[in-house]
Amino acid sequence: MEISPLQKARLQYNPKLPPALKNGVLSLKHVLGGKTESVADQEQISRIFEHTYGKPVVTFEASENSKTAKAINVGVILSGGQAPGGHNVIAGLFDALKAADASSRLYGFLGGPSGLTDGKYIEMTAEFVNAYRNTGGFDIIGSGRTKLETEEQFNKAWDVCKKLNISAIVIIGGDDSNTNAALMAEWFVKHNAGIQVIGCPKTIDGDLKNEQIEISFGFDTATKTYAELIGNIERDANSAKKYWHFIKIMGRSASHVALEAGLQTQPNITLISEEVAAKKMSLAQIVDYIADIIVRRAENGKNFGIVIVPEGLIEFIPEMKTMISELNDLTHELEKDDKYTSAPQADKFTIIEKALSSGSAKVFESLPDGIKAQLLMDRDPHGNVQVSRIDTEKLLIAMLEKKLAAMKKAGTYKGKFSTQSHFFGYEGRCAFPSNFDADYCYSLGYNAFALVSGGFTGYLSSVRNLTKPATEWIAGGIPLTMMMNIEKRKGENKPVIKKALVELDGPVFARLEKNREDWAMNDRYLFPGAVQYFGPAEVCDRTTVTIQLEHQK
């Protein structure tokens, strides 16, 4: 198969490892912390995870003592949306497993969690894995979003593991995927299956983190990729000086990606969903905020600019959030009614408006028909509105056009408002991983096998101290239950890993807030360019602005 010169060069890159792992997993000391508890709802979580709750955090240190190697079969699953570096997690896992005992086997389950329950797999060989090192994508075995939560699924998984003599499963995924991992680990322990389950923290959204998980893999590469694209548009906007560019950027449940991309490129406006929620801003107030900057820039002869819009903004606007919550519950019931499902779209709108509370009905009625239709599209795997399908950037443009036209008629605005809209999402999910993500992901995979070798289950692979060189990284693991809380899913209370949102009192948002007015009126655009793989370490191995600010001394 023909490959590009860059891919050929990246295949030769040798990822770095934390010092504790450099001599393999057989020479490790396990340093255990105290008993842990979930971030919230401790009583409920401890009852659900009776056999795996409260385990200690583990840190690995190099040891002069060495364990006796033994052959072991491990299964690996890629779960959820793609994120740069997934292939390197598998490469790290494979290398650690084979270094411990060359007769050990790694099985990749195809198409995500369903590959485990359906018994669809391949055995991974060195030749096979080598073709994917340091590359983007999840195409090595594919991914999927099947939830693992039923007795039938767990029994099928157990049967497949017994058939392949698998004694450990590594699930590479985000918060929902690692919730699957926690549930499966609990079930296997409860049934004395003898099968360990280890998770790896993946999501470009950056919302799977805590003190032990400093960053989820893929965030570094994705934000650098988006920043390159935004920088290109900023350069174009500053050249043409005639368009306002509205850029929606991936990140449904948190604004980490938008915030990081904003800090890397310094656009005129960066909306942060968590701020909108905290200030209880209405859609009209958001439009007023943007319009004010547009008008003031026009007075300075600048009829152009850049607006960053988080993908999940709609859900954080209180009036919209309330309406969407009602829609999520309402449509579950309405979709069981043939009269509703067979009704023309206009009639569906009427049925919805009559069934919603008066406040939500008013909000729904005020929306353009195209946005209404997007709100009623097919649901996501959790039965909720697919926010990524809502053209928030186009909704803002339409409302601004209406407002600015009224202001022009009243003589309070004399500028021109021409727009371009963009959505950056898939462009960043399968990019070649940055050097940071290549190293971090390889370390996470290698470390996952260290957890397996140490007999741990229900743990998430953790590599810390990431603002330092890899020679100072700290390897270990945290109990998955430590990150859990209870949330409502499809009308039922479910245990899930709590999403980490942007902290409005933290140093990262503070950097944006401090510079917001300056960046709004002056064109302080930064042009970061393409992700750098070769060159000085300060260029190629730099981490995100987010993690640098979070861990500054």
User: Which residues of the chain fall short of a pLDDT of 70?
Assistant: 378, 380-383, 388, 553
Phi, psi values for residue 50, rounded to 5°: -55, -35
In the 8-state DSSP scheme, what is residue 498? P
Q: Which residues are catalytic?
A: 205
Is 222:431 a contact under the CB 8 Å cutoff? yes
User: How confident is the model at residue 328, as a pLDDT?
Assistant: 85
User: How confident is the model at residue 381, as a pLDDT?
Assistant: 63
Does 123 share its domain with 50? Answer: yes
User: How confident is the model at residue 383, as a pLDDT?
Assistant: 66
Phi, psi values for residue 438, rounded to 5°: -60, -45
Please indicate, yes or no, if residue 517 is contained in any of the structural domains: no
State both tokens at 288: 């007023």
* pLDDT tens for each residue of 485-514: 999 877 789 999 999 999 999 999 999 999
Q: What is the CA radius of gyration of the chain?
A: 25
State both tokens at 491: 């009308």
Is 143:108 a contact under the CB 8 Å cutoff? no
SS (H, E, C) 405-436: HHHHHHCCCCCCCCEEEEEECHHHHCCCCCHH
Residues 6+ apart with CB under 8 A from 220: 84, 434, 436, 437, 440, 543, 544
Q: What does 36-50 look like in DSSP terms, one character per residue?
A: ---SS-HHHHHHHTT
Please indicate, yes or no, if residue 499 is contained in any of the structural domains: no
Q: For the domain that residue 418 is a member of, what is the CATH number?
A: 3.40.50.460
User: How confident is the model at residue 542, as a pLDDT?
Assistant: 87
Does 259 share its domain with 198? Answer: no
Dist. CA 263–CA 245, nearest whole Å:
17
Does 192 share its domain with 331? Answer: no
Does 214 share its domain with 100? Answer: yes
Please indicate, yes or no, if residue 502 is contained in any of the structural domains: no
User: How confident is the model at residue 553, as a pLDDT?
Assistant: 65
Does 122 share its domain with 149? Answer: yes
State both tokens at 177: 């995927």
Does 161 share its domain with 197? Answer: yes
Kindly report the pTM of this predicted structure. Answer: 0.93
Dist. CA 523–CA 238, nearest whole Å:
8
Does 324 share its domain with 370? Answer: yes
Please indicate, yes or no, if residue 550 is contained in any of the structural domains: yes
Q: What does 343-392 look like in DSSP terms, one character per residue?
A: S-HHHHHHHHHHHS-HHHHHHHHHS-HHHHHHHTS---TTSS--GGGS-H
Does 382 share its domain with 399? Answer: no
Does 236 share its domain with 343? Answer: no
Please indicate, yes or no, if residue 494 is contained in any of the structural domains: no
The residue from 390, 422, 455 where one domain ends is 390
Helix (H) or strand (E) holding 472: none
Instruction: State the total domains in the chain.
Output: 3
337: domain range? 316-390
Match 């003599």 to its residue by tokens.
165
Is 92:444 a contact under the CB 8 Å cutoff? yes
Dist. CA 497–CA 487, nearest whole Å:
9
Does 47 share its domain with 123? Answer: yes
Does 213 share its domain with 227? Answer: no
User: How confident is the model at residue 506, as a pLDDT?
Assistant: 96
Does 109 share its domain with 233? Answer: no
User: How confident is the model at residue 169, as a pLDDT?
Assistant: 98
Please indicate, yes or no, if residue 188 is contained in any of the structural domains: yes
Please indicate, yes or no, if residue 4 is contained in any of the structural domains: no
Please indicate, yes or no, if residue 395 is contained in any of the structural domains: yes
Q: For the domain that residue 167 is a member of, what is the CATH number?
A: 3.40.50.450
* pLDDT tens for each residue of 310-364: 999 988 999 998 998 898 888 878 888 888 888 999 999 999 999 999 999 998 9
